[in-house]
Amino acid sequence: MARIVMKFGGTSMAGIERIRSVAARVKREVDAGNQVAVVVSAMAGETDRLVNFCREASTLYDPYEYDVVVASGEQVTSGLLAMTLQAVGVPARSWLGWQLPIQTSAAHAKARIRTIDTEALDKALATGQVAVIPGFQGVDDDERVSTLGRGGSDTSAVAVAAAMKADRCDIYTDVDGVYTTDPRIVPRARKLQQVTYEEMLELASVGAKVLQTRSVGLAMKENVRIQVLSSFDDRPGTMIVGDAEIGDNNMESQLITGIAHDKNEAKITLTAVPDRPGAVASIFAPLAEANINVDMIVQNVAHSTGSTDVTFTVPATDLARSLDVLGQAKETIGFVEILHDTKISKITVVGVGMRSHAGVASTMFKALAERGINILAITTSEIKVSVVIEEDYTELAVRVLHTAYGLDAEEESAA
Amino acid sequence: MARIVMKFGGTSMAGIERIRSVAARVKREVDAGNQVAVVVSAMAGETDRLVNFCREASTLYDPYEYDVVVASGEQVTSGLLAMTLQAVGVPARSWLGWQLPIQTSAAHAKARIRTIDTEALDKALATGQVAVIPGFQGVDDDERVSTLGRGGSDTSAVAVAAAMKADRCDIYTDVDGVYTTDPRIVPRARKLQQVTYEEMLELASVGAKVLQTRSVGLAMKENVRIQVLSSFDDRPGTMIVGDAEIGDNNMESQLITGIAHDKNEAKITLTAVPDRPGAVASIFAPLAEANINVDMIVQNVAHSTGSTDVTFTVPATDLARSLDVLGQAKETIGFVEILHDTKISKITVVGVGMRSHAGVASTMFKALAERGINILAITTSEIKVSVVIEEDYTELAVRVLHTAYGLDAEEESAA
């Protein structure tokens, strides 16, 4: 007997026919003797519909009331799945965020889970009942409904799995696992049997939209084993686990695990920033205050004039705000010109194997150079190398690198 | 300064534009110095959508989970109205059923309100905040979401008004008041300035679908003054009040207040029931057990054979079940034949004035006879006379009686 958390996304919950097929999957785990809690998203499209109502109601809507409105989507699917499970003979009930409770911070619309009381859950599961829990929602200290921000249901699932000490957290979605790269770009991309939390974090944060980044971070911290798999077929998915579980002689063990790309960044260059201590700080302090997430930072060699160009990337949606903030700080920073470019793309090569191997970066630069792809900026970390290139070269760069690192499957993948 | 409960139905809440106009109405009351609580329905069509999901999910759905699903409709409109009020500068927050709490019985999907804790409400209102409360929902003793049954939002509004000791409960709907009869049948029907609770109960229960019957009963018990008015114009509506408020020399005071009709009943006749004590009880006991609401009962004079025919009406939706229950009890009851007819209509003439005036019934019979309308059954009470006629004569009978009792307006009403 195992304890399993199963999480189903919006596509899997879109309509009663699909909810019935979710119930069948849950029943299979119950029939196998497992204790099961299910975390559900709202029906596909429903959260958008509710968010649009809020935006229409007020451009500066109250996040407390926003949470009351948008939390209803998961409430509906929880009730529907519980009754559908009962209809196929599986005892089940829904537990809303405030009923357990799932206690969160008071940062409405982007709350963080603090604690989950599992007393009621443990009792229910011990009697063979399936607990259906709406993802994305909780309740703050004042007993007001809170939500975790878009994609928060993955985080809910991992948090429930951690609190329940579940053996596994199965995240059912509309893709059947994590691939070496986007199969729409590289048809010979391979599905990975397993990746580490850290690799998944890098892959997820640069655009492989399989799992919400926050949920992977939480899983790593709480050591929750995640499986990503499809709700539309029966093949095993990709396990996301700690380093320790990936043995050295694992057949899959190799330098590079996957390649991600992200077209949603913008590049900003400040020219002729005075080359003195504190100059860089004066750039990033106001951006941090404005809650703008700066990613890659490149400082060019100092000009002979005693000044330097500083280049960095921000999310494209934050570009206008960034230019505004920097414009206001122009005197403090002391730059001459502000340049920006949204027609860029970030390509990231990820692999835990990188830690013990040299040459990853040089393979990358060589492969890109051979195709005439210009590198505009570079950053590295222990398990990744990222480069910024012109957006038009995105797909070509991904294909070239996929082949260069030997990731191509023997024959075309079914994806 | 007055304390007012304002209630808005589904048509008034259907979409953000309409919610904005609701907010404007609420603001007007606040600006006039009143303390205001608002009770809202789900957007028109939303509850049907949610109920259909439940039916699709399971024909024998769990009423506990049904409540979780359908309560979400009012949750959404509560949050949206609160943020829309804030957008026009009116401090507001939503209070869900479990937050106040509105404590109900455990009869899920048809729960009854037991108590409403007004501590939080009183505090909020005292600071000038408008409280927005979802209608239709509450929470049972086990902290599970409950709902009051269709149309329950009117009941919620009256219950909140009673608990808050409100001076008035304004029910905004898509008609602008209570009419002497259905204006679609009689264009010269007049809007009533006021009716008594009892008259309203009779008018509502026989098909004038302005207010849910239950809410009128509660208002009468708790002495809550109700005003029914339109959310789409600014004319005063109809006040529903106790007898004491309607003075004898009221200009409107007259014999008959209104005429209602109901096509949703079916007539059942059992022939040759033995004319002995207990025979009638043996008919109605099994119907009562099956929760079938029997309305009019007519027992014809005993045949010379020592047997009698018994005729009664039931809601047309319960006809099949009634025939089934009676068929099973055939031996116990001892009838010979069971006849039924759904092509009937019930016409009811209502008026508190009836108590002190004779001749109401005879005017009715004479007026109907003159037009050749056959009366199939009759019942009376202190404030009404009801007759069953053939369905095809419904509109004719309503028009004839409206004129016979002098209810026609001087000129055509704007309705």
Query: Chain A residue with minimal CA distance to B81?
Result: A57
What residues of chain A lie within 8 A of the CB of B78, using their CB?
A: 68
Are B62 and A83 a contacting pair at CB < 8 A? Answer: yes
Report the alpha-carbon angle B16-B38-A139, nearest 5. 80
Mean pLDDT for the stretch of residues B371-394: 89
pLDDT tens for residues B33-52? Answer: 999 999 999 999 999 999 99
Which of B65, B99, B136 should be substituted to probe chain A, the one whose Cβ sees the most A Cβ atoms within 10 Å?
Answer: B65
The confidence band for B355, taking pLDDT boundaries of 50, 70 and 90, is low
Tell me: pLDDT of B415 over 80. Answer: no
* DSSP 8-state symbol, B354: G
User: Is the link from the previous residue into A134 a cis peptide, with omega within 30 of 0?
Assistant: no
Are A57 and B93 a contacting pair at CB < 8 A? Answer: no
Tell me what pLDDT residue A161 has: 97
Are B68 and A50 a contacting pair at CB < 8 A? Answer: no
Question: Chain A contact for B27, CB < 8 A?
Answer: no
What residues of chain B lie within 8 A of the CB of A93, using their CB?
A: 64-65
> Cα–Cα distance between A81 and A12 in angstroms, integer?
11
What residues of chain B lie within 8 A of the CB of A99, using their CB?
A: 143-144
Tell me what pLDDT residue A413 has: 45
- Nearest Cα to A254, choosing from A369, A402, A116? A402
Query: Chain A residue with minimal CA distance to B142?
Result: A99
Distance from CA of B48 to the nearest CA of A (A): 13
Tell me what pLDDT residue A382 has: 80
Q: How many residues does chain B have?
A: 415
Distance from CA of B80 to the nearest CA of A (A): 6
Which of B68, B85, B139 should be substituted to probe chain A, the one whose Cβ sees the most A Cβ atoms within 10 Å?
Answer: B68
Are A76 and B98 a contacting pair at CB < 8 A? Answer: no
What residues of chain A lie within 8 A of the CB of B58, using their CB?
A: 83-84, 86-87
Residues 6+ apart with CB under 8 A from A351: A199, A254, A255, A256, A257, A258, A360, A383, A384
What residues of chain A lie within 8 A of the CB of B83, using their CB?
A: 54, 57-58, 61-62, 65-66, 69
Which SS3 state, helix, strand or coil, does residue B220 take?
Answer: helix
Q: Is the ipTM of this complex over 0.85?
A: no
Render each residue's pLDDT in chain A as its tens digit; 415 residues.
Answer: 899 999 999 999 999 999 999 999 999 999 999 999 999 999 999 999 999 999 999 988 999 999 999 999 999 999 999 999 999 999 999 999 999 999 999 999 999 999 999 999 999 999 999 999 999 999 999 999 999 987 799 999 999 999 999 999 999 988 888 999 988 899 999 999 999 999 998 887 665 577 888 899 999 999 999 999 998 888 899 999 998 777 554 544 567 899 999 999 999 999 988 877 777 778 888 998 888 888 888 777 666 777 888 889 999 999 999 999 999 999 988 899 999 999 999 999 998 877 656 678 888 889 999 999 998 888 888 888 889 999 999 999 999 999 999 999 876 444 4
pLDDT tens for residues B255-312? Answer: 789 999 999 999 999 998 887 777 777 888 899 888 888 888 877 766 677 788 888 9
Tell me: pLDDT of B217 over 60. Answer: yes
The confidence band for B251, taking pLDDT boundaries of 50, 70 and 90, is very low
Tell me what pLDDT residue A224 has: 96
Distance from CA of A86 to the nearest CA of B (A): 8
Query: Chain A residue with minimal CA distance to B16?
Result: A57
Question: Chain A contact for B90, CB < 8 A?
Answer: no
Three-state helix/strand/coil letters over chain A? CCEEEEEECCCCCCCHHHHHHHHHHHHHHHHCCCEEEEEECCCCCHHHHHHHHHHHHCCCCCHHHHHHHHCHHHHHHHHHHHHHHHHCCCCEEECCCCCCCEEECCCCCCCCEEEECCHHHHHHHHCCCEEEEECCEEECCCCCEEECCCCHHHHHHHHHHHHCCCCEEEEEECCCCCECCCCCCCCCCCECCEEEHHHHHHHHHCCCCCCCHHHHHHHHHHCCCEEEEECCCCCCCEEEECHHHCCCCCCCCCCCCEEEEECCEEEEEEEEEECCCCHHHHHHHHHHHCCCCCCCEEECCCCCCCEEEEEEEEEHHHHHHHHHHHHHCHHHHCCCEEEEECCEEEEEEECHHHHHCCCHHHHHHHHHHHCCCCCCEEEEECCEEEEEEEHHHHHHHHHHHHHHCCCCCCCCCCC
Question: Chain B contact for A307, CB < 8 A?
Answer: no
Strand pairing category for B137-139 and B145-147: antiparallel
Tell me: pLDDT of B358 over 90. Answer: no
Distance from CA of A22 to the nearest CA of B (A): 12
The confidence band for B233, taking pLDDT boundaries of 50, 70 and 90, is confident
Query: Chain B residue with minimal CA distance to A20?
Result: B57
> Cα–Cα distance between B195 and B200 in angstroms, integer?
6
Tell me what pLDDT residue A341 has: 95
Query: Chain B residue with minimal CA distance to A42?
Result: B69
* DSSP 8-state symbol, B21: H
Which SS3 state, helix, strand or coil, does residue B234 take?
Answer: coil
Q: Which sign does the torsion angle of CA A112, A115, A121, A125 carry?
A: positive
Tell me what pLDDT residue A376 has: 86
pTM over 0.90: no
Tell me: pLDDT of B338 over 80. Answer: yes
Tell me what pLDDT residue B208 has: 59
Are B80 and A53 a contacting pair at CB < 8 A? Answer: yes
Q: How far apart are the first and last CA of chain B?
A: 33
Tell me what pLDDT residue B252 has: 46
Are B16 and A56 a contacting pair at CB < 8 A? Answer: yes
Tell me: pLDDT of B413 over 70. Answer: no
